């Protein structure tokens, strides 16, 4: 009896492999993708019609453009949907299809060879685009009208359709919040220019581990390597957050923050840094919104310490040169501050700041409230103390 039940379970498990996995996107994303395909294909056809006029024998749209639209508007981050993939893949495949249709007499053999050669060409040129196989097949099987075009089929309608659809995808995806083309994530690099791996990579899997596994896997993935790595990292952070509970910036940040304004004299800002024994001061607008941050590094950088000389003398010269706007030297905080400061909201989980305060080399993150006003400051020390305290609580050492 147990053997029968076990076999039934195995059979059910095997049958489930034929069922498609659930697509994990919401209704808004589904509607966005459908509208993108409608927008892209309709305008591509209309513009092609205007460009060619009514006398052209070339088709306004070729069927494989429907498959290209699925990739461009549903999975714009896929390596198979990037600009060079659609342009290069479709044109290479069209050329292979036309060549085989002209040189191979049997349509069956011509079709098979055309698709095989198009795959080989796309892989060699790093422009793999699945609809290319359909374009190669269309060039062979679409009949005398297409075959009469010869190699001009590669340009019109294939290249024209591909270019128009690509341009429309560039506009639509970015207008609806989907970055396109997909930008590769920067490689993990040590900002200190040493051979050590970045701090966040010293425990857990590393980029090299992922590269080794992908090499062993030896199959084409419909996701970029950096996206795959990012998903793994986000999964790790999500699991860590679940184990730690909800610890937000508001829980551990410093609230009595020493700050300055854009027009604060350098000498006053320098004295504040020394008196309060801090290494950074957020720079605020009159509405208490963060417009920059001034750090010890900013002072050292503008004191020209890359040249030989007394550090004290150069710093003294920098902070006491204020008041003379015509001297050409900076004299207020706004002239030496770091702009484009990365901030965090009060309800941001501290796990989200680990990459910022480790790999990116940030030491201070201003925390803002719902209106964007400064509410506190979170430092590397705050984060280390919170993680350490939480670890003690989990182990039962601390009360």
206 shares its domain with 128 = no
The Cβ of residue 153 has, within 10 Å, a number of other Cβ atoms equal to 26
Q: What pLDDT, on a 0 to 100 scale, did the predictor assign at position 380?
A: 87
Report if residue 17 sits inside a domain.
no
Q: Are residues 157 and 274 in the same domain?
A: no
Q: Is 283 domain-assigned? A: yes
Which of 244, 268, 294 delimits the end of a domain?
Answer: 244
What is the spatial distance between Cα 14 and Cα 140, in angstroms, rounded to a whole number?
38
Q: What is the CA radius of gyration of the chain?
A: 30
Closest CA to 240 of 346, 345, 349: 349
Lowest mean pLDDT segment, chosen from 60-64, 151-155, 322-326, 386-390: 322-326
Overall number of domains in the chain: 3
| 130 plus 155 within the same structural domain | yes
Do 85 and 165 lie in a common domain?
yes
Q: How far apart are CA 38 and CA 389, in angstroms?
A: 54
- Per the listing, tokens 């010269």 go with 317
Residues 114 and 235 in one domain: no
Say yes or no: 218 and 256 in one domain. no
Provide the domain limits for residue 286: 250-395
Q: In this predicted model, what pLDDT tens digit does every residue of 99-152 receive, in sequence order?
A: 999 999 899 999 999 999 999 999 999 999 999 999 999 999 987 777 788 899
In a domain, 365, yes or no: yes
What tokens were used for 127? 């422009």
What is the domain-level CATH number for residue 323? 3.10.580.10
**What mean pLDDT do residues 21-35 have?**
88
Identify whether residues 83 and 111 lie together within a single domain: yes
**How far is it, in rounded angstroms, from Cα 112 to Cα 101?**
11
**Would residue 239 count as lying in a domain?**
yes
| Confidence label for 399 from pLDDT (cuts 50, 70 and 90) | very low
Task: Dump pLDDT digits (tens) for 305-319.
Answer: 555 455 566 566 666
If asked whether residues 240 and 334 sit together in one domain, one would say: no
pLDDT digits (tens, 9 = 90+) for 152-172: 999 989 999 999 999 999 999
Indicate whether 158 and 33 sit together in one domain: yes
> Does residue 309 form part of some domain?
yes
Do both 239 and 362 map to the same domain?
A: no
Is residue 16 one of the residues assigned to a domain?
A: no
Q: Decide which of 192, 225, 244 is a domain's last residue.
A: 244
Residues 152, 272, single domain; the answer is no
Residue 164 lies in a domain: yes
On whether both 78 and 164 belong to a single domain, the answer is yes
Task: Please check whether residue 43 lies inside any domain of the structure.
Answer: yes
């Amino acid at each position: 009896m147990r053997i029968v039940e076990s076999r039934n379970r195995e059979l059910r498990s095997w049958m489930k492999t034929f069922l498609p996995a659930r697509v994990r996107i919401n209704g808004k994303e589904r509607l966005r993708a459908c509208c993108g395909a409608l927008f892209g294909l309709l305008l591509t056809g209309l513009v092609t019609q205007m460009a060619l006029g009514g006398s052209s024998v070339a088709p306004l749209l070729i069927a494989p453009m429907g498959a290209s639209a699925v990739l461009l508007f549903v999975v714009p981050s896929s390596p198979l949907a990037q600009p060079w993939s659609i342009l290069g893949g479709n044109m290479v495949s069209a050329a292979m299809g036309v060549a085989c249709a002209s040189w191979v007499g049997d349509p069956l053999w011509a079709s098979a060879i055309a698709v095989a050669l198009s795959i080989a060409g796309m892989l060699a040129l790093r422009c793999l685009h699945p609809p290319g196989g359909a374009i190669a097949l269309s060039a062979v099987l679409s009949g005398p009208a297409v075959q009469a075009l010869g190699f001009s089929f590669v340009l019109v309608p294939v290249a024209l359709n591909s270019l128009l659809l690509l341009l429309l995808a560039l506009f639509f995806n970015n207008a609806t919040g989907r970055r396109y083309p997909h930008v590769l994530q920067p490689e993990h690099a040590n900002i200190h220019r040493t051979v050590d791996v970045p701090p966040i990579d010293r425990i857990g899997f590393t980029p090299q581990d992922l590269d080794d596994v992908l090499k062993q896997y030896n199959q084409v993935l419909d996701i970029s390597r950096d996206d795959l790595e990012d998903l793994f990292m986000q999964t790790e952070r999500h699991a860590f957050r679940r184990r730690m509970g909800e610890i937000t910036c508001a829980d551990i940040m410093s609230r009595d923050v020493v700050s300055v304004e854009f027009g604060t004299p350098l000498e006053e800002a320098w004295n504040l840094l020394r008196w309060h024994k801090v290494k950074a001061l957020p720079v605020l607008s009159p509405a208490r919104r963060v417009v920059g941050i001034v750090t010890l590094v900013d002072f050292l950088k503008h004191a020209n310490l890359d040249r030989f000389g007394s550090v004290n003398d150069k710093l003294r010269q920098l902070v006491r040169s204020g008041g003379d706007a015509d001297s050409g030297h900076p004299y207020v905080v706004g002239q030496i501050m770091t702009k484009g400061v990365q901030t965090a909201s009060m309800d941001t989980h501290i796990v989200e700041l680990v990459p910022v305060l480790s790999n990116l080399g940030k030491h201070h993150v201003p925390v803002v409230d719902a209106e964007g006003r400064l509410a506190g400051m979170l430092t590397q020390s705050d984060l280390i103390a919170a993680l350490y305290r939480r670890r003690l609580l989990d182990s039962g050492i601390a009360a």
